[in-house]
Amino acid sequence: MSALEKPWSDESIAVLPAGRLAAAPDLEAATAAARQFLAALGVPCDLPGTLDSPRRMAHAYAEMLTARELELTTFENDEGYDELVIVRDIPVQSVCEHHLLPFTGVAHVGYLPGERILGLSKFARVVELFSRRPQVQERLTKQVADWLDEELGARGVGVVITAEHTCMSLRGVRAAGSTTRTVALTGALRNDRSVRAEFLAGVDGRVAS
């Protein structure tokens, strides 16, 4: 069994490729469990507004934890394009693996093309690929960068994610509005100071000095 086929577990969660669970969600069982969970917290599920809440809750989490299948579309770099490509403000929607609460934000992805270039719409799909699962932002950022680096044979990849975590804004310290920024760099974007500066300036909408 390859790493991409391993069951969903603490050991394999970092390499599971499609953001999918070990098996298709059992929505009937999830609905029953949600009803028990809400009842244990003292939430009545027999009121007009909550009769269908356990089912909605089960469907919502199944949707948040399941990415669409990705068919990677790359093209030969016929023109020999060798400058940075940056795609900004890709929506990020994921679930904190510690509290199972959502975190949302944006990702900015850049790369220095090698022999292959990526269809632009696929950047958002790759972010979704790794975000639709229980995650931590640091791992998510590195997974996107490493996967693109390997799949494209790029000369360098950079990923910046900025997100707000509801496990921090709605509970605990309740620091509403606070955001977390993580960065992962490979190849020239990590090792070449000028290229790294150009990428980070492009992410922030600045001109590299």
Give dist(CA 130, CA 19) in Å, integer: 5
Q: Which amino acid is at 184?
A: A
Residue 86 identity = I
27 Ramachandran zone, left/alpha/beta (phi>0; psi -120 to 50): alpha
Rounded CA separation 185/162 (Å): 15
Neighbouring C-beta atoms of residue 203, cutoff 10 Å: 22
Q: Which of 198, 40, 4, 180 is nearest to 111 (CA)?
A: 198
Asked if 83 contacts 199 with a C-beta cutoff of 8 angstroms, the reply is no
Query: What positions carry a catalytic annotation?
Result: 96-99, 137, 165, 167
Output the CA angle 199-201-207, nearest 5 degrees.
120
